[in-house]
Amino acid sequence: MRIVFMGTPDFAVPTLSNIIEGKRHEVVAVYTRAPQPAGRGMTLRRSPVHEVAERFSIPVYTPKSLRAEDAQQIFCGHKADCAVVVAYGLILPAPVLAAPLHGCLNLHGSLLPRWRGAAPIQRAIMAGDTQTGVMVMKMDEGLDTGPIGMSETIAIGPEMTAGELHDAMMARGAMLMTRALDALGDGALEFHPQSADGVLYAAKIDKAEARLDFTRPAQALHNLARGLSPFPGAWFEANLGKSAERVKVLRTRLAAGGGEAGVLIGPGVVACGEGALELVQVQRGGKAPMSFADFARGARLEPGARLA
H or E element: which one contains 70?
A: helix 69-76
Q: What is the mean pLDDT of residues 97-102?
A: 98
Query: Which residue, of 201, 224, 258, is where some domain finishes?
Result: 201
pLDDT of amino acid 201: 97
Residue 4 has pLDDT above 80, yes or no: yes
Check which CATH number belongs to the domain holding 47 and give it: 3.40.50.170
Do the domain assignments include residue 7?
Answer: yes
Check which CATH number belongs to the domain holding 221 and give it: 3.10.25.10
Closest residue by Cα to residue 180 from 165, 192, 190, 170 = 190
Do the domain assignments include residue 250?
Answer: yes
pLDDT of amino acid 37: 83
211 shares its domain with 181: no
Residue 35 has pLDDT above 90, yes or no: yes
171 shares its domain with 32: yes
Give φ, ψ of 282 to 5 degrees. -135, 175
271 shares its domain with 157: no
Residue 297: partners with Cβ closer than 8 Å, 6 or more residues away = none
User: Higher-confidence residue: 39 or 78?
Assistant: 78
175 shares its domain with 253: no
Do the domain assignments include residue 308?
Answer: no
Q: What is the pTM of this model?
A: 0.95
164 shares its domain with 247: no
Q: At 9, is the pLDDT very low, low, confident or very high (cuts 50, 70, 90)?
A: very high
Do the domain assignments include residue 306?
Answer: no
Query: 127-160 pLDDT, tens per residue?
Result: 999 999 999 999 999 999 999 999 999 999 999 9
Residue 30 has pLDDT above 80, yes or no: yes
Domains contained in the chain, number: 2
232 shares its domain with 178: no
Helix or strand or coil: residue 72? helix
174 shares its domain with 35: yes
Residue 242 has pLDDT above 80, yes or no: no
pLDDT of amino acid 291: 97
Query: 167-207 pLDDT, tens per residue?
Result: 999 999 999 999 999 999 999 999 999 999 999 999 999 99
178 shares its domain with 229: no
Query: Which residue, of 201, 230, 245, is where some domain finishes?
Result: 201
62 shares its domain with 129: yes
Domain that holds residue 235: 207-299
> Could you give the C-alpha distances from 177 to 41, 77, 136, 150, 283, in angstroms and in order?
37, 24, 6, 8, 36
Do the domain assignments include residue 307?
Answer: no
Percent of the chain at pLDDT > 70 equals 100
pLDDT of amino acid 163: 98
Q: At 240, is the pLDDT very low, low, confident or very high (cuts 50, 70, 90)?
A: confident
52 shares its domain with 196: yes
Do the domain assignments include residue 6?
Answer: yes
51 shares its domain with 153: yes
pLDDT of amino acid 43: 84
47 shares its domain with 180: yes
pLDDT of amino acid 39: 74
Do the domain assignments include residue 11?
Answer: yes
Do the domain assignments include residue 14?
Answer: yes
Query: Which residue, of 185, 201, 217, is where some domain finishes?
Result: 201
